[in-house]
Amino acid sequence: MTALTQWNPFKRLLRLDPAAGIDDLFRSLGAHPMLRDFDAAAEMPLDVTEKDGAYCVKAQLPGVDKNDIDVSVEGNRVAISTEFKREEKKDGERELCVERYYGKAFRAFTLPDDLDAAKASAGYENGVLTLTLPKKQNGDARRIAVS
C-alpha cells in the first residue's frame, strides 16, 4: 500500500508535538496516525494594484459563502475576515485524508494613501473577492497661518 504524504520542511517548526516521531512511525506502518498534524491557519493570498486614483485588491477565498466575508476600511487600513466552513460528513463515510483548512481566517494591511470608505465597493465571484478602494481626495486641505 502506498501513501501520499505532503511534505513541508517548516511544519515541525510550526507545531509543538513531542510525540512527532511516534506519529511518523505509525504513518510508515500504514496505520492511522494516533495524533493529527496541526497546520498553520489558512493563507489568504492577495494581489494589490493601483489604477486611476484607486486600489484594486483581489483575495483568494475558495469555497467561502459571500455572506461569511467581512471587509472593513478605516483610514488607509483594510481588514478582511471570513470563515471556512466544513461540509457535513455523511453516514458511512470514512475520512482517508483531510488537508483543507476549516476555521476563521483574517488578513489586515495598510495602503500608502487614505481610502474613501463611502465609495469603496466589493464583489465576489468564482472564489475571488475583488475590492475597489478609491483614494480619498485632498480637497479639504488648507493652509493655517501661525500667529
Residue 119 C-alpha from the chain's centroid: 24
> Is 62 inside any structural domain?
yes
pLDDT, average across residues 33-45: 56
Grid cell, residue 146, equals 501661525
75 and 21 part of one domain: no
> Is 139 inside any structural domain?
no
Grid cell, residue 122, equals 466589493
Task: Specify the pTM.
Answer: 0.64
At 32 the pLDDT is 45
> Is 147 inside any structural domain?
no
79 and 109 part of one domain: yes
Give the SS3 label for residue 68: helix
Q: Which residue has the higher pLDDT, 141 or 44?
A: 44
| Domain boundaries, position 10 | 6-40
Q: Which residue has the higher pLDDT, 24 or 97?
A: 97
130 and 90 part of one domain: yes
pLDDT, average across residues 107-127: 92
The confidence band for 31, taking pLDDT boundaries of 50, 70 and 90, is very low
Nearest partner of 79 among 131, 138, 137, 127, judged by Cα: 131
112 and 58 part of one domain: yes
> Is 143 inside any structural domain?
no
Grid cell, residue 68, equals 461569511
Please measure the distance between the N-terminal and C-terminal CA atoms of the chain and give it in whole angstroms: 85
Separation CA 27–CA 13 (nearest Å):
19
Grid cell, residue 62, equals 475558495
> Is 142 inside any structural domain?
no
Give the SS3 label for residue 45: coil
Q: Which residue has the higher pLDDT, 130 or 26?
A: 130
Grid cell, residue 112, equals 500608502
> Is 1 inside any structural domain?
no
> Is 140 inside any structural domain?
no
Task: Put the strands of the sheet holding 77-84 in their side by side order.
Answer: 70-74, 77-84, 103-110
Per the structure, the count of domains in the chain is 2
122 and 62 part of one domain: yes
Q: Quick one: what percent of the chain has pLDDT higher than 70?
A: 65
Whether residue 51 has pLDDT greater than 60: yes
Q: For residue 113, give the CATH number of its domain.
A: 2.60.40.790
Q: Which residue has the higher pLDDT, 17 or 53?
A: 53
